[in-house]
Copies of this chain bind each other. A is one copy, B any other.
Amino acid sequence: MLEQFKVPADDQIRVPEQSLRRTVTAIFEKMGETPEDAATGADVLVTTDLRGVETHGVSNLMRAYVDRYASGGMKAQPDWRIVRESPATVTVDADTGLATILGPKMMGMAIDKAREVGIGIVTVHNAGHSGAIGHHAMLAAREDMVGVTMTAGGAAILPTFGAEPRLGTNPIAIAAPARNEAPFLFDVATSAIAGNKTVLARRVGATVEPDWITDLDGNPITDGRPMPGLGEYYMLPLGGTRENGSHKGYGFAMMAEILATLLSGSIPGMLDTARGSSHYFAAYNISAFTDVDQFKDTMDDVLRTLRTTKPAPGFDRVLYPGLSEHEEEQERRANGIPLHREVVEWFQHITAELSLPALETL
């Protein structure tokens, strides 16, 4: 994550992992989820915070979820059902359930299919937010599979050359196991910046890099101003400008739209903004394709080669997707998760309102 998005040291309050898990689980239970599902939801969010991916941890998502449960836009204990199935595929109607909690179940079905026939794909429509989709991809990697996840929903991103928003921030993730190196986990929005980063940017006062967003006429904003308020801008696809490859970001967003939304029998946000999100979960059983030990050894060689690559002038080292998040996880497990004081205030407020014990901080 770029430095400008991080919580300033003066605004940090450290919270122990277990304390955050307890409070988030308790809030999910108050929202009507079962204890088991509540713990799953807390695991997805807190693991993401441990990895330093604050956009998709508790700070942005917990309060958004609480609002959605309260407004009736999202159902606790949804009556999700399989609407079509084949040996390698499952299509699910999520009954407006939160995909943060359903995600591990959906990836579990994909993993079961992959064990049987080599690959399993589960598409899900009529669902709520999924948390960090890389979390679900990692569940496959732990089973000696490659996991791929995608999400599509809403319409906040301009297509290349366009002035009307048509696409969601539509993230794509892939996770693959290694032997001794930290696992590979790539998880990105196909927009120039993730939607939740705009929320972070407003919280920490970060400025906007050129060609991340436009004004409401579709003119790119290039002057380094602070992040405008919601509704005052549109977002650009990865690449920003045509010369820099925004048509590629646009195309990858459409890939998620096709594989998650259309293949689950739903309709994209550009046609109906009231639709819920759609999600895609794929598990590739490595042993169906090749030798698992050889795959993991090669992954180790690849990841070691990447992280020991000579850095370009001005840079300290080369990372690979998942490496700095793995390092952050070790540090945060030991020293607690640094939340913005404004986020801790929200927790103290909501736990009081729900008659729950207050969040314990360090």
Q: Which residues of A contact B (CB under 8 A)?
A: 2, 84, 86-89, 91, 116-119, 121, 123, 146, 148, 158-164, 166, 172, 174, 176, 184, 186, 188, 190, 192, 209, 211, 214, 217-219, 238-240, 242-245, 247-252, 254-255, 257-259, 262-265, 267-268, 270-271, 284-286, 288-291, 294-295, 298-299, 301-302, 305-306, 309-313, 315-321
Q: Beyond A86-B288, A240-B244, A243-B209, is A161–B265 a contact (Cβ under 8 Å)?
A: no
Is A299 in contact with B117, judged by CB distance below 8 angstroms? no
On chain B, the residues within 8 Å of A270 by CB distance are 302, 305-306
Residues of B within 8 A of A267 (CB): 298, 301
What is the bound-complex CA distance between A43 and B267, given in angstroms?
Answer: 35
* Residues from chain B with Cβ under 8 Å of A123 in the complex: 289
Known A-B contacts A121-B118, A244-B192, A312-B158; A263 and B290 likewise in contact (beta carbons under 8 Å):
yes
Nearest CB of B to A291, in Å = 7
A87 in contact with B87 (CB, 8 Å): yes
Identify 4 new A-B residue pairs, CB closer than 8 A, beyond the known A87-B117, A262-B298: A88-B119, A176-B258, A263-B284, A265-B290
Could you tell me if A319 and B118 are in contact, using CB atoms closer than 8 angstroms? no
Q: With A186-B251, A298-B262 known to touch, is A84 a contact of B288 (CB < 8 Å)?
A: yes
Residue in chain B with minimal CB distance to A294: B265
Contacts of A238 in B (CB 8 A): 238-239, 245, 248
Given A166-B305, A244-B239: A315 and B161 within 8 A (CB)?
yes
Q: Which one, B163, B172, B285, contacts A311 given CB within 8 A?
A: B163
The 10 closest A-B pairs by CB, nearest first: A218-B312, A265-B290, A86-B118, A89-B118, A186-B251, A87-B117, A161-B315, A86-B288, A88-B118, A162-B309
Nearest CB in chain B to that of A220: its residue: B312
Partner of A242, one of B2, B211, B250: B2
Q: Write out the residue numbers on chain B whose beta carbons fall within 8 Å of the beta carbon of A242.
A: 2
Whole-angstrom distance between the Cβ of A154 and the nearest chain B Cβ: 14
Copies in the complex: 2
Chain B residue nearest to A91 in the complex (CB): B289
Residues of B within 8 A of A286 (CB): 263
A sample of 11 inter-chain contacts (CB < 8 A) reads A84-B288, A88-B119, A89-B289, A91-B289, A117-B117, A119-B121, A161-B318, A162-B311, A172-B255, A218-B311, A239-B245
Inter-subunit contact A2/B243 (CB<8 Å):
yes
Kindly provide the distance from the CB of A115 to the nearest chain B CB, expressed in whole angstroms. Answer: 10
Contact of A163 among B159, B288, B312 (CB under 8 A): B312
Q: Are A121 and B284 in contact (CB under 8 A)?
A: yes
Chain B residues with CB under 8 Å of A299's CB are 258, 262
User: CB-CB < 8 A to A262: which residues of B?
Assistant: 176, 290, 295, 298-299, 302
Q: Are A117 and B146 in contact (CB under 8 A)?
A: no
The answer to whether B289 and A159 touch across the interface, beta carbons within 8 angstroms, is no
Q: Are B188 and A309 neighbours in the complex by a CB distance under 8 Å?
A: no
Contacts of A190 in B (CB 8 A): 248
Q: Is the CB of B255 within 8 A of A318?
A: no
Across the interface, which residues of B come within 8 angstroms of A118, CB to CB?
86-89, 121
Contact partners of A291 in chain B: CB under 8 A: 265
Chain B residues with CB under 8 A of A289: 84, 89, 91, 121, 123, 263-265
Bound: A286/B318 CA distance, A = 40
